[in-house]
């Protein structure tokens, strides 16, 4: 089974760029911006970041956005998703910061001028540090503060922006910060991670509720839509699975995928998952009225970030060394093709498998691929005589294969409307900083963040112009 024959995307299929405020803007202390979690961690331990490049850098887009939007337009990209930084838009008293608001008005206007539509996301792992210190997503204060920040953003930009998203990859902070302990504050507590996940779900739902209210009163434009973006990953196990392997698949799928899919389509969390968690002693900090809040979480459409599948098997132990209940262990597939720079498996068919699962289980849901991309450490080594990076041997096949599987899914009924490539222009990547490069456009850190097209850019331009996946 392959996707070779599927090389044409619909005429109204859109192409764009995915990015985020904290990874591009820079200007970390300008315009009254507050310290966010990444600034806090960078200030505390700069050695945790590749080459000691902390959150301050972005990719200088804050100063170069006119040029960057022109580049997107030149590549045939009609939209770009970035995020407002909560820590830039709001002050520490929870009031709008006029300087931050002015910056985003200018940014959005420049995009319109260049013929690029901005999709706005409200949260990309970047809580203001003062709210984290008061309990972060485990505290109702932060959840309420997020809801009032979202309300302020809708009120300020409600007539300008058509496409809104509450969160990018809401599964990542519970996992990285609270379960695996890889990101600040390095917690390894499964139950706390789920409480964080629950808090984010409430915050998402309160924001969608505020959006609906402001749209009904005319503050938000009538054609505006709201969604959520997650890094969904189709779960796979061994070819001859045991009951216990299948159970590991069910819980992995339930925690990472169905949790969010049920929330945004049914306004509730998946009952089977909540039951299993409760059986293992993991309960949510539920308060009266929470069900009604979650019921508001139904969205207009969804963003699907896809990088890699999750391969799991039955856990070897019930409880790990930190006292956490175990639901699945990683399963190493012998045929896996790896992107060694990132340590992530490359499995383009996963995008199709998950698309078809959504088509079957959530048939009314419209969606787009909101991130997909390949970050490569050796990018800089592949420089041609004329100075351009020749990344065609790996970036083109990666994107081509994923697009072909998307085309096949659409041919078979999937309601996928577009594709945003992650980065397009190289950007700062959390701990990895500039280690792995994702862009079709290079950012030269040795020459003041100068932009330079890579060889793959002409292939991308051809695809966006013709919708033929050559
Ligand atoms: O850089 C990240 C982004 O912030 C979220 N999705 C994955 C990207 C690549 O690692």
| CATH number of 355's domain | 3.20.20.80
Write the CB contacts of 205 (distance below 8 Å, at least 6 apart in sequence). Answer: 263, 267, 293, 294, 295, 296, 297
Annotated catalytic, 66? no
Q: Which of 25, 169, 345, 442 is catalytic?
A: 169
Mutate-to-test residue for ligand 1 from 49, 342, 429, highest number of ligand atoms within 8 A of CB: 429
Dist. CA 5 → ligand 1 center (Å): 30
- Ligand 1 pocket test target in 371, 421, 423, 426 with most atoms within 8 Å of CB: 371
* Pairwise CA distance, residues 287 & 143, whole Å: 13
Q: Please compute the mean of the pLDDT values over residues 330-355 and round it to a whole number.
A: 96
* 235-236 vs 310-313, strand pairing mode: parallel
pLDDT reading at 378 higher than 90: no
* Per-residue pLDDT band at 1 (split at 50, 70, 90): low
The answer as to whether 9 is a domain residue is no
* Gap between the Cα atoms of 83 and 107, Å rounded: 11
The CA radius of gyration of the chain, in Å to the nearest whole number, is 21
For ligand 1, pick from 169, 182, 343, 434 the residue to mutate: most ligand atoms within 8 Å of CB: 169
* Degrees, nearest 5: CA angle 288-294-299: 165
- Chain segment 51-86, per-residue pLDDT in tens: 999 999 899 999 999 999 999 999 999 999 999 999
Q: How many domains does the chain have?
A: 1
Cα of 429 to ligand 1 centre, how many Å?
Answer: 7
Closest CA to 403 of 56, 117, 13, 12: 13
**18 alpha carbon to ligand 1 midpoint, in Å?**
9
Q: Say how many residues make up the chain.
A: 470
* 386: in domain: yes
Residue 3 lies in a domain: no
Residue 387: the pLDDT is 87
Strand bridging mode 338-339 / 344-345 = antiparallel
360 domain residue, yes or no: yes
3-class secondary-structure state, position 419:
strand
Percent pLDDT > 70 in the chain is 100
Tens digits of residue pLDDT in 395-438 = 999 999 999 999 999 999 999 999 999 999 999 999 999 999 99
Question: Is residue 372 in a domain?
Answer: yes
In the chain, % of residues over pLDDT 90: 96
Q: In three state form, how does the secondary structure of 252-318 look?
A: HHHHHHHHHHHHHHHCCCCHHHHHHHHHCCCCCCCCCCHHHHHHCCCCCEEEEECCCCEEEECCCCC
The mean pLDDT value for 441-456 works out to: 96
The answer as to whether 256 is a domain residue is yes
Per the structure, the complete domain to which residue 450 belongs is given by 14-466
Q: Is any atom of ligand 1 closer than 6 Å to the C-beta of 176?
A: no
Is the link from the previous residue into 185 a cis peptide, with omega within 30 of 0? yes
Nearest CA among 249, 91, 260, 274 for reference residue 168: 260
DSSP 8-state code for residue 423: -
Domain assignment present for residue 5? The answer is: no
Query: 371 an active-site residue?
Result: yes
Closest-CA residue, ligand 1 atom 5, reads 169
In 3D space, the residue among 22, 169, 19, 155 whose CA is nearest the CA of residue 79 turns out to be 19
Checking if the pLDDT of 146 tops 80, the result is yes
Domain contains 2: no
């Amino acid at each position: 089974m392959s996707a070779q024959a599927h090389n044409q995307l619909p005429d109204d299929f859109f192409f764009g760029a995915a990015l985020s405020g904290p990874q591009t803007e820079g200007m970390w202390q300008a315009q009254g911006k507050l310290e966010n979690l990444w600034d806090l961690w960078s200030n505390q331990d700069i050695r945790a970041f590749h080459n000691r490049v902390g959150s301050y850098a972005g990719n200088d887009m804050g100063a170069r956005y006119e040029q960057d939007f022109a580049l997107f337009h030149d590549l045939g990209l009609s939209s770009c998703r970035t995020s407002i930084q909560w820590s830039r838009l709001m002050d520490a008293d929870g009031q709008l910061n006029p300087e931050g608001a002015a910056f985003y008005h200018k940014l959005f206007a420049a995009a319109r001028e260049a013929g690029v539509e901005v999709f706005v996301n409200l949260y990309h792992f970047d809580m203001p540090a003062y709210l984290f210190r008061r309990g972060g997503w485990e505290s109702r204060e932060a959840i309420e503060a997020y809801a009032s920040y979202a309300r302020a953003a809708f009120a300020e930009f409600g007539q300008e922006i058509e496409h809104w998203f509450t969160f990018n990859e809401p599964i990542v902070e519970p996992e990285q910060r609270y379960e695996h302990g890889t990101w600040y504050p390095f917690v390894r507590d499964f139950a706390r991670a789920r409480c964080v996940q629950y808090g984010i779900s409430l915050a998402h739902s309160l924001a969608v509720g505020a959006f609906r209210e402001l749209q009904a009163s005319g503050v938000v434009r009538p054609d505006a839509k709201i969604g959520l973006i997650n890094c969904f990953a189709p779960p796979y196990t061994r070819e001859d699975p045991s009951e216990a392997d299948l159970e590991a698949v069910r819980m992995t799928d339930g925690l990472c995928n169905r949790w969010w899919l049920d929330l945004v389509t049914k306004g509730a969390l998946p009952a089977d998952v909540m039951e299993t968690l409760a059986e293992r002693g993991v309960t949510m900090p539920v308060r009266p009225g929470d069900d009604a809040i979650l019921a508001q979480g139904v969205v207009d459409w969804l963003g699907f970030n896809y990088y890699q599948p999750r391969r799991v098997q039955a856990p070897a132990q019930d409880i790990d060394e930190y006292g956490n209940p175990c639901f699945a262990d990683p399963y190493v597939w012998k045929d896996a093709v790896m992107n060694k720079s990132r340590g992530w498996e490359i499995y383009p068919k996963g995008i199709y498998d998950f698309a078809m699962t959504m088509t079957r289980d959530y048939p009314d849901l419209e969606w787009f691929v909101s991130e997909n991309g390949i970050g490569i450490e050796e990018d800089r080594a592949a420089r041609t005589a004329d100075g351009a990076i020749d990344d065609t041997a790996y970036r083109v096949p990666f994107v081509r294969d994923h697009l072909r599987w998307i085309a096949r899914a659409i041919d078979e009924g999937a309601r996928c409307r577009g594709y945003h490539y992650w980065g397009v222009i190289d950007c700062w990547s959390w701990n990895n900083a500039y280690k792995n490069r994702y862009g079709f456009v290079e950012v030269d850190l040795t020459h003041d963040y100068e932009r330079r097209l890579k060889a793959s850019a002409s292939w991308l331009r051809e695809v966006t112009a013709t919708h033929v996946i050559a």
